[in-house]
Structure 1
Amino acid sequence: MSQTRMGETLAPWWTGWLESCGVEAEWRDQAVRQACDACPKLITDMHYEARVQAVRTYYGRKLGRKIEKKEAQTIWLTEEQYMEVIPWWCATHTDCWEYFVKRWCNPEWQKTHDACQEQRLKMPGPAHHQGNRTLDEYATRWSWVHGGQPCPPLKAWAMAHKGKATSIEVDYNPEDPPEAYSNPTVHSRLSQYTKMAREVHGSEWDPSTEDLDGEIIMRTQLREEMEAKLREQEAMYQARLQEQQVRYNARLQEEVQRQMQSMF
C-alpha cells in the first residue's frame, strides 16, 4: 500500500476519533495532517526498527549490556535469539514474528541490507527527503501542504533534496546555491539540466513549471559521461607526466652522482 493510500485510509479514523474527543475543527485538521504524515512512515519502517529494537532488548535482558541504536544496527542475532525477545505487540502472533526473523536471518536479505547501508555511507549527504514516498507521492503531499500549488516532477525532485514535503519552508528556487541542497551534486545536475533545456527551449524556459524532458535528460547524462571520461583521461595524463618526471629526476640524480664519482 502506498503512503498516499495509507494516509487516505487513516484520515477518516483519526477525524472520527478526534471529533469524539471534542477537538476543535482547526486543531483537528492539523492533527489529522500530522498523523497521516507520520503513521505511514512508522508502519513501513516497522520491519527494520523491530529488528534493531530486538537486538537492543536481547543485549539488555540477556547480556546485561545497554547498546545504542547505531551499534544495534550492525549486530545480527540468531533465529533462536530473536525468538527470545518477541515484543509485546507481537506476543500473540508468533507466526508473524517468525516471518520477520526468517527474513532477517536470510543471507541474501542481509547481503542486500549491508550493500544498501554501505552505499548510503558513501554519499556526501542524505540521498533525499522523500522517505518511502515515490516522487509523485512527494509532489502530491507537498502540493497538499502548500495549498494546492502545482508541483511538476523536476520541482518535486529538487525539493526532495532540500527537505520534507510536509515542511512549509521547503520550496524551489532555480537561483538557490549548492548548500541549499542535502547533496552538493544535486545543484550541479539541476544546473546542467536547466542550461541544456534552455538551449533547446529558449532562455525563458522555467524549470519550476515545466515537466521533465526525456531527451534532455539523456543529453545531460551523455554530457556527464563525456566529462567524466575527460576528467579520467586528464588524471591519467597527469599521472603519466608525474611518473615521467620522477624517472627523469632519478636519472638526473644518478648522472650527477656518476659525474661526481668520476671527478674524484
Structure 2
Amino acid sequence: MAFADEVCAPAVEEVPLVLVVEPQAPTWAGHVVHFVQTGELPDDPDESERVARRASMYQFVYDTLYRRMPNSTFYRCEKGYEEAAIEVIDYVCKRLLKNLRHEARVQAVPPRWCADQIDCWEVLVDDWCSHEWLALHNEAKDKRAQMEGVPHHQGSSNLYQFGRNWARHNKAEVPEVYDLYAKAHTASYKKVKAFSASDLDDPKNFTNISTHNKLVRYRDEGKARKGEDFNPSQGPIDPELVMVAGGGRSHGSIAIGDGLICCPLTLPEIKARQSSSAPEIRPRQRPVELIVKAAIHSERDRTKKLLAEAAEKQWELEERTELEERTTKMLEEERARNDMQNREMYELLVTVCEKAGQTPPPMPEITPGTTHNSRQASDDPSPATGTSHPGPSPS
C-alpha cells in the first residue's frame, strides 16, 4: 500500500496539480464528470449544490479529468491506486478541516480563510459558546487529565516531519515508521537517541503505557505471523499488521502512525482472509485498562517481594533457633561429661583415702548445667564459688 505522497506521480508539467477520476471513483465523482461535460446538475437541490461546488475543483486536460490543487502543479494518480488515493485525500481533508477549526478558535479572530465569510465565523463562535460544546470540551479535558504521561513529543509536527527533524539534527537517515513512532513517544527530536529493541523491556522508557503496548503488540504479532526473525525496525511498516495488532480502527485511526498510515482493508476483511490456524486477533486495550493492569502487576510484584522478605526473615529465625538448640544441647552434653568425670575422680579419691586410713573429704555439690551456661542457685543464698558445704562423713 502506498502513502499519499507515493500515490501520485507527475504528469504533464504545464498543467496544475490534480487527481484523475476513474470509473472506480465514488458516485459524486460521476456527477461531477457529467456536470463538467454537459453542464447539467442533478435534480436534487442539495446534491446539485454539492456537485457545483466540487466541480470548480476539477478540470479536463486532454480528455482526462484532473483535480485542481492550490499550488498550480498537476499530478496524475498511478493506475490501480485511484481508490486508495481518494480514500487518503478524503481522510486528510477531514483532518485539515478539523485543524482549521481549532486554529481559528486559538487565534480568536477571523482567520484568513474565513475573513470574507463572517457568517461562517459567527456560526463557529456560537458553537464554541454553546453548552453542548462546553460539555464536550470538559469531557475531553477530564480524559486528558486521566492520561498518565504526555501524548508525544512531536509538537505541531506530524510523524514524518518529526523524522526529518531528527535526521537533520543528528545528520542521519530518516528511520522507518516503527522507530519514528517510538522516538516521538520517548523524547524530543533533539534529545531522543536511536531506538533499540531493548527499549521495549521497560514501559517507563516511553511517554505513556499505551505507546509501549502498541509497539510490543506490533512486534509480537509480527513474530507470530511472520516468524521469530521478524524485526519491526527493518523495512516499511505493514498496515495490515498494524490493523491486526491494534484491533482495527479504534476512534477512526489505526494504532500506529497518528493517522498517516492507511490500510485499504477493514478488520473483518482481514479476518476473512486468515486461515483457522492463524493467531487470534485481540481487541485494542484502552489506556485506562492498561493502567489498571499495570497497577495490578505492580501490586502483585510488591506483594511477592514482601512475601519473599518475610520468608527470608522466617528462615533466619529458624536458623537462629536451631543454632541455639544445638548450642544448648552441646553444653548439656559437655556438662554431663564433666559431672561424670568429677564423680569418677571423687570415687577414686575415696578409695585412696580408705586404703591410707584417712577420712575422705566430702563430695562437692555439682551444679547441673543450664541453657545459659549458668549455675543453679543452691539453698545457700551466697553466690556459687565452685565449693560446697561439707556433707556427712562416709561411714
TM range (shorter): 0.3 to 0.5
- Greater helix content: 1
The answer to which structure, 1 or 2, has the higher relative contact order (CA under 8 A, 6+ apart) is 1
Q: TM-score, normalised by structure 2?
A: 0.30
Bigger radius of gyration among the two: 2
